[in-house]
Amino acid sequence: MKIYKTLQGFVIEHTGQYYISRHTDWDLFINREDLFFELQREIQLLPAASEYKSLIDNGLLAPIQSQEVWAAGVTYLRSRNARMEESKNAGGDNFYDRVYDAERPEIFFKATPNRVVGSGQAVRIRRDSKWNVPEPELTLFINSKGQISGYTVGNDMSSRDIEGENPLYLPQAKTYDKSAAIGPCIAIFDEPISPESTISIEILRYEIPLFSDSIEINRMKRKLVDLAEFLFRESSFPNGCFLMTGTGLVPNDNFTLEVGDEIRITIDGIGTLVNTVEMK
């Protein structure tokens, strides 16, 4: 089942049918411990109508209200190698090697809700950076009890030159206005997401495909439950939180995003997050 936050209410999608939820508070709705069963109850009671799809097509919002967004890093070999390369002149290369093998994962604060955009909205690249990439990431919704109860598609926009100059610049490379995108929905399953699920990315410039790649989430070094456990060890999240789980897809080092590029990130069973790039 999928839930979408729209300007005119919360839309539930199940087997090609669309319903409008009776819930009106996104924080309370998505943080329910019995979310999957609540959605099952709702679709039995509510009338389905194909017109409800137009609420998604015309008024889609990011599936967030007051949650913080956090991110894990260096969870795929490809990410470890790219960071080691970009930071070697700054002497930061062996941090990435070490964290990849360490018991404690890299987890960093990514964004407050006001810095997050949804599908169909623009992400930004920094004006003081010359090397910017999207990072396509499976993103968990973890409820306030620390349970992974939903999945969405995330883009952890990153300034690789700033991050590569000095690892201490990571917060500036990662956190700025419109640096995080999540959506289009939260997918709620009755079992953990399949490890064979594929994340794929396509970047278009002037509508022409420029870069595309894909990876299965089973290539991730860490277990999703372990990432959630580390995040919740000493922090509480009264309305739950989102956790981006790291990228395994990194364009070649000569690639940088430009204003106007379209980024399309798809995860099997969840959907496609589409964003264009702006700089203002």
Residues that bind Mg ion (CB under 5 A): 135, 156, 247
C-beta neighbour count of 57 within 10 angstroms: 9
Length of the chain in terms of residues written: 280
56/142 with CB nearer ligand DO4: 142
**Position of minimal CB gap to ligand DO4:** 73
Binding flags for ligand DO4, 105-134, as an x/- string (CB under 6 A): -x----------------------------
Binding segment for ligand DO4 among 9-17, 72-80, 112-120, 147-155 (CB under 6 A)? 72-80
If binding is defined by CB under 6 A, does position 73 make contact with ligand DO4? yes
CA distances from 185 to 1, 46, 62, 182 (A): 10, 19, 8, 8
Contact between 33 and 143 under an 8 Å Cβ cutoff? The reply is: yes
- Residue 187 tokens read as 């997918």
Return the residue of 13, 68, 156, 202 that touches ligand DO4, per CB under 6 A: 156
If binding is defined by CB under 6 A, does position 227 make contact with ligand DO4? no
| 3-class SS of residue 2 | strand
Q: Return the DSSP state at 51.
A: G
CA distances from 157 to 55, 64, 133, 142 (A): 27, 17, 6, 21
Return the residue of 83, 160, 178, 264 that touches ligand DO4, per CB under 6 A: 83
Smallest gap from residue 101 Cβ to ligand DO4 (A) = 14
Binding segment for ligand DO4 among 34-42, 66-74, 114-122, 177-185 (CB under 6 A)? 66-74
Smallest gap from residue 137 Cβ to Mg ion (A) = 6
Smallest gap from residue 138 Cβ to ligand DO4 (A) = 11
63/136 with CB nearer ligand DO4: 136
If binding is defined by CB under 6 A, does position 135 make contact with ligand DO4? yes
6/247 with CB nearer ligand DO4: 247
At residue 78's C-alpha, the angle toward residues 211 and 256, to 5°, is 35
Contact between 184 and 153 under an 8 Å Cβ cutoff? The reply is: yes
Return the residue of 31, 139, 247, 275 that touches ligand DO4, per CB under 6 A: 247
Smallest gap from residue 180 Cβ to Mg ion (A) = 10
d(CA 158, CA 156): 6
If binding is defined by CB under 6 A, does position 202 make contact with ligand DO4? no
C-beta neighbour count of 263 within 10 angstroms: 22
Residue type, 228: A
Q: What are phi and psi of 72, to 5 degrees?
A: -100, 155
Smallest gap from residue 128 Cβ to ligand DO4 (A) = 18
> In what helix (H) or strand (E) does residue 162 lie, and over which residues does it extend?
helix 160-165
Binding partner of residue 93 among ligand DO4, Mg ion, none, CB cut-off 5 to 8 Å per kind? none
Binding partner of residue 202 among Mg ion, ligand DO4, none, CB cut-off 5 to 8 Å per kind? none
d(CA 84, CA 94): 7
d(CA 245, CA 70): 9
- Give residues in contact with ligand DO4 (CB under 6 A): 71, 73-74, 79, 83, 106, 135, 156, 170, 246-247
